[in-house]
């Protein structure tokens, strides 16, 4: 018996070590799921061995593979994971066992009778893979010890009994909904679960009946079977701050433009050459700003100077280059490239509405960049005359 328990313990430790051979992943907190999420059903086939309280002193072999000890069985369980590391289940198991004991006072005749029984137990389950190494929905092998207790009945003799149980389960991922599991467990029950009355025969020093079992089965997930990462508050605050910086920048630009226009209205000048403002339009790219991860223009005020350069280009048959940008601090490279190209196309569409022929407009997407400070200013498209 002791040797068997040592073998089971060694197998559990080996399984735990092997189960963590997955590629390490970053640990992170997970959000609590609804009550209806992370339920599961387990259905498995068993092979069980019995060690009766009546057999002490009879020198019967303790090997679990002896015919007088073992029989097949099955197990069905329903449970729920409340966190990636902690869950509970209600398990029903049976239904064929063996009575192991003696039939007379001289302990000469070994009883080798079948015993129909069932056990109904509540287990607390610990996913040590998630507890020790962090949650990973793609982990192939999880190791799950469990402890609990419940009630059992010998249907052959109509005896009831209370008991405790413990074991270890290893499960292999097939998909988010399906897993194959292997389980080894130990049940220790009072008195009569093997069908022998506790007042019958010589029970020796131990009045408990013991059951060892191994089980192989299928775990089926019900409802949502994964856990979402909790929002990164610091990242969200950083995005909000970047958006606020962009709004403040546009506000300062608008105030400066208004001041310039007021000054021009207050001090009109008659010039015979090209105005300085037009020269600036020709030489300097005009910026149109966008909000984070958006392709619609943040403010129509940004189009004031665009209309001016469009008017000049139209009257002088000049060509325009529209260059789109995204900031490199947020988003993936693929997303930022798409954003930059789409922003350039949006501004080009505005130029067409202003009367510029499509053939006179070239659009380019530069992807995510870090040119301006703060970097949120890089969420823009620029318009400039090319010839």
The three-class DSSP label of residue 290 is: strand
Three-class DSSP category at 243? helix
Is residue 124 within 8 Å of 88, Cβ to Cβ?
Answer: yes
Question: For residue 72, what is the DSSP state?
Answer: E
Q: Is the pLDDT of residue 214 over 60?
A: yes
User: With pLDDT > 70 as the criterion, what percentage of the chain qualifies?
Assistant: 79
Give yes or no for residue 30 having a pLDDT over 90. Answer: no
Range name among 104-118, 257-271, 323-337, 341-355 with the lowest pLDDT average: 104-118
- Mean pLDDT, range 69-79, rounded to an integer: 95
Distance CA 114, CA 195 (A): 9
- Look at residue 172 in the predicted model and tell me its pLDDT: 96
| C-alpha distances in Å from residue 256, one per residue of 249, 252, 253, 301, 312 | 11, 6, 5, 12, 22
Give 128-170 pLDDT, tens digit per residue.
999 999 888 889 999 999 999 999 999 988 888 999 999 999 9
Name the residue with higher pLDDT: 34 or 341. Answer: 341
What does the alpha-carbon distance between residue 301 and residue 251 come to, in Å, rounded to a whole number? 10
Four-point Cα dihedral 337, 338, 343, 346, nearest 10? 150
356 pLDDT higher than 50 = yes
The answer to whether the predicted template modeling score (pTM) of the entire model surpasses 0.75 is no
Q: Are 26 and 134 in contact (CB under 8 A)?
A: yes
Residue-level pLDDT at 153? 93
C-alpha distances out from residue 79 to 92, 98, 295, 297, Å: 12, 29, 47, 51
Inform me whether the pLDDT recorded for 222 exceeds 80.
Answer: yes
Residue pLDDT, tens place only, 39-72: 999 999 999 999 887 776 677 888 888 888 899 9
Kindly tell me if the per-residue pLDDT of 271 is higher than 60. no
- Mean pLDDT: which of 2-6, 104-108, 382-386 is highest? 382-386
**Average pLDDT rounded to a whole number, residues 75-81:** 97
Measure the CA–CA gap between 332 and 297, rounded to whole angstroms.
21
Taking CA atoms, 62 is separated from 51, 157, 164, 212, 312, in Å, by 8, 24, 21, 12, 100
Once rounded to an integer, what is the mean pLDDT over residues 248-255?
79
Nearest-10 crossing angle of helices 276-283, 303-315: 90
How far is Cα 48 from Cα 185, in angstroms, rounded to an integer? 9
pLDDT of 170: 96
276 pLDDT band, cuts 50/70/90, is low
């Amino acid at each position: 018996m002791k040797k068997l328990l040592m073998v089971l313990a060694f197998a559990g430790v080996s399984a735990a070590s092997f189960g963590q051979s997955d590629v390490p992943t970053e640990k992170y907190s997970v959000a609590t799921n609804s009550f209806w999420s992370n339920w599961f059903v387990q259905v498995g086939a068993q092979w069980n061995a019995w060690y009766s309280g009546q057999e002490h002193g009879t020198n019967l072999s303790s090997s679990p593979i002896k015919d007088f000890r073992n029989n097949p069985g099955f197990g069905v369980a329903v449970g729920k994971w409340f966190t990636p590391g902690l869950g509970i289940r209600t398990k029903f198991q049976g239904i064929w066992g063996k009575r192991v004991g003696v039939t007379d006072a001289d302990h000469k005749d070994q009883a080798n009778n079948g015993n129909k029984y069932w056990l109904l137990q509540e287990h607390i389950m610990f996913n040590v893979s998630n507890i020790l190494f962090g949650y990973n929905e793609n982990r192939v092998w999880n190791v799950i010890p469990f402890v609990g207790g419940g009630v059992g009945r010998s249907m052959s003799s109509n005896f009831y009994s209370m008991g405790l149980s413990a074991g270890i389960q290893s499960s292999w991922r097939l998909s988010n909904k399906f897993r194959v599991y292997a389980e080894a467990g130990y049940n220790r029950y009072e008195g009569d679960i093997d069908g022998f009355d506790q007042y019958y025969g010589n029970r020796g020093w131990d009045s408990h009946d013991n059951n060892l079992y191994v089980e192989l089965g299928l775990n089926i997930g019900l409802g949502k079977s994964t856990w979402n990462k909790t929002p990164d508050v610091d990242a969200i605050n950083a995005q909000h701050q970047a958006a606020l910086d962009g709004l403040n920048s546009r506000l300062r630009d608008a105030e400066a433009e208004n001041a310039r226009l007021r000054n021009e209205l207050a001090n009109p000048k008659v010039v015979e050459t090209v105005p300085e403002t037009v020269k600036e339009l020709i030489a300097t790219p005009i910026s149109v700003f966008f909000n984070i991860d958006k392709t619609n223009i943040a403010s129509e005020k940004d189009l004031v100077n665009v209309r001016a350069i469009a008017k000049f280009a139209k009257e002088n048959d000049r060509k325009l280059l529209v260059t789109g940008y995204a900031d490199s601090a947020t988003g993936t490279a693929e997303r930022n490239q798409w954003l930059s190209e789409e922003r350039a196309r949006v501004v080009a569409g505005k130029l067409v509405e202003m009367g510029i022929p499509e053939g006179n407009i070239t659009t380019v997407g530069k992807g995510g960049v870090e040119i301006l400070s703060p970097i949120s200013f890089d969420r823009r498209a620029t318009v400039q005359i090319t010839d």
